[in-house]
Amino acid sequence: MSSCEDKDSAATRAAAKTDVELLKRFWRNKKVALEILHFDSAHIEKYMAHISNSVDLLSRLTQQQERFAKRYLSN
């Protein structure tokens, strides 16, 4: 794996962590004080679309691709 690929995957992980933290914050804001705290529906819609696309892609995997994905994600 090249250093460029390492940087790309590190950037992807950092962005994902940031997205997860943002999603948690939005969820807490909505759950705790919807009337007081800002709730960014554009971000939530983006995350919901991403989740829906991920589920669609996963449902189209062959069994071999599914096993590979599970092995890859567990590492």
Look at the pTM and tell me if it is higher than 0.75.
no
Burial class (CB in 10 A: 0-12, 13-18, 19+), 49: exposed
CA distance 66 to 44: 27
Residue range 18-32, pLDDT digits in tens: 778 888 887 787 777
pLDDT in tens, 36-59: 666 677 877 888 888 888 878 878
Residue 42 is predicted with a pLDDT of 80
Residue 55 pLDDT: 79
pLDDT band at 1 (very low <50, low <70, confident <90, very high): very low
For the CA atoms of 6, 55, 58, 67, the dihedral, rounded to the nearest 10 degrees, stands at: 70
| Contact call for residues 26 and 39 (beta carbons, < 8 A) | yes
- Is the alpha carbon torsion for 52, 21, 17, 68 positive or negative? negative
